[in-house]
Amino acid sequence: MSGAPPPPEEPAGGARLALELAPSLTALAAARDRVRELLERRAVAEATRYAVELVLEELAGNAVRHGYAGEERGVMTIEVELTRELVRIRLTDDAPPFDPTVHPEPPPFTTLEEAPIGGLGISMVRKVTSAMRYRRADGRNHLEVEVRRAAGR
C-alpha cells in the first residue's frame, strides 16, 4: 500500500482544517485549493463555497497585497471550521494592524461616473458573512468570520 494516509476522523457534519503559509499569492492559492477540497468533500453548497472563497480572496488576499506589501516574510494562518450551520474562518497575520470591521463602506453610487474604482472587497465580504470579529493580539491581526451554510449543493 502506498499514497497518503487516510484523513483523520472528522466529527459528524463538521470538520476542521488549519494551515500555515507564507504571505504570498501563490501560497494563498494553494491554501484556497485545500479549503475548497475540504468543502467539496463535505458536500458544502456551491453558494457557501463561493462565499468562503470570497472571504479568503478579499481578506487574506488583502493582507498579502497590502499588509505585507509584497514582502514575503512572515507567517499567516488560515483555519476553517465546519459545523452543521456555518463555516467559521479564522485568519491571522503578522502584518501591521488592520481592522477591516471598521473599514468604511464606499459611498453609494448610482452612475458609472460616481462608482469608485476599488475599495469594494470588504463591502462584498460583509454581504456574504454573518459575523466578522477583529482583535490585535501578540503582534498579530486576528480575524474571525462566519459564513452561514446555504441549503443544497
Partner 1 sequence: MELHIHRETDGIVRLALEGRLDTDGVDRVETRVNAALARAEHGVLDLSGVTFLSSLGVRLLLSAAKTLQRRGARLIVVAPQPLVEEALRFSALDQILPVARDVDGALALLQG
Q: Is 109 in the site for partner 1 (CB under 8 A)?
A: yes
Stretch that binds partner 1, among 8-16, 49-57, 75-83, 140-148 (CB under 8 A): 49-57
28, 87 contact by CB (below 8 A): no
The number of residues that bind partner 1 (CB under 8 A) is: 26
CB proximity list for 77: less than 8 A, separation 6 or greater: 18, 19, 20, 21, 90, 91, 92, 93
**Per-residue exposure over 93-114, b if at least 16 CB sit within 10 Å of its own CB, e if not:** bbbeebebeebeeeeeeeeeee
Shorter beta-carbon distance to partner 1: residue 2 or 110: 110
Shorter beta-carbon distance to partner 1: residue 17 or 47: 47
Binding site for partner 1 (CB under 8 A): 25, 29, 46-47, 50, 53-54, 57-58, 61, 65, 108-113, 115, 117-118, 120-121, 123-124, 127-128
